[in-house]
């Protein structure tokens, strides 16, 4: 399998639209996260090789699929298609074990960092 160039995610403007999401999946092999109106899942492109009959001869053919799973590894079966026109896609992040990171990065200061104010 040929290796695809990884994106420098620090330079990707997020969120982005469906067109960019499909481009990143196709060109870079990225897993894309979709978050909108309570739906939260990631999707990716996979290629499967199957033996099929073409013009009466059996051949191996590559089939492309886009697969989508939620945080419980359940396949996504319903989708509000109107939300696909909005910029609601981001690059899916994974930990060092290859598990999806579902929690949002929290940039707010921790309680120790907040100065207490005397009343």
pLDDT at 102 exceeding the cut of 60: yes
Is the preceding peptide bond at 66 cis, omega within 30 degrees of 0? no
45: left (phi over 0), alpha (psi -120 to 50) or beta: beta
> What's the confidence (pLDDT) of residue 66?
92
* Burial group, residue 99, by CB count within 10 angstroms (0-12, 13-18, 19+): exposed
Quickly state the pLDDT bin for 62 (edges 50, 70, 90). Answer: very high
pLDDT at 32 exceeding the cut of 80: yes
pLDDT at 43 exceeding the cut of 60: yes
Average pLDDT over residues 55-80: 92
Residues of the chain above pLDDT 70, percent: 86
- Count CA atoms closer than 13 A to 20's CA, side-chain side: 16
pLDDT at 31 exceeding the cut of 90: yes
pLDDT at 75 exceeding the cut of 80: yes
> What's the confidence (pLDDT) of residue 115?
52
> What's the confidence (pLDDT) of residue 103?
87
- Of 4, 50, 49, 11, which Cα lies nearest the Cα of 31? 4
pTM: 0.74
CA distance 42 to 68: 6
The number of angstroms, rounded, from the C-alpha of 7 to the middle of its chain's C-alpha atoms is: 13
Q: Tell me the H-state helices in 9-95.
A: 18-28
> What's the confidence (pLDDT) of residue 56?
94
Domains in the chain: boundaries: 12-94
**Token reading at 14:** 């997020």
């Amino acid at each position: 399998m040929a290796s695809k160039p990884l994106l420098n995610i620090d330079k990707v403007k997020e969120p982005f639209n469906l067109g960019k999401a499909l481009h990143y999946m196709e060109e870079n092999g990225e897993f894309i996260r979709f978050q909108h109106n309570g739906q939260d899942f990631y999707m990716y492109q996979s290629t499967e090789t199957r033996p099929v009959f073409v013009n009466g001869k059996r051949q191996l053919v590559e089939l492309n699929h886009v697969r989508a799973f939620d945080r419980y590894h359940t396949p996504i079966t319903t989708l509000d298609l109107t939300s696909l026109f909005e910029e609601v896609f981001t690059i899916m992040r994974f930990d060092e074990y290859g598990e999806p990171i579902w929690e949002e990065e929290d940039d707010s200061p921790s309680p120790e960092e907040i100065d207490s104010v005397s009343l």
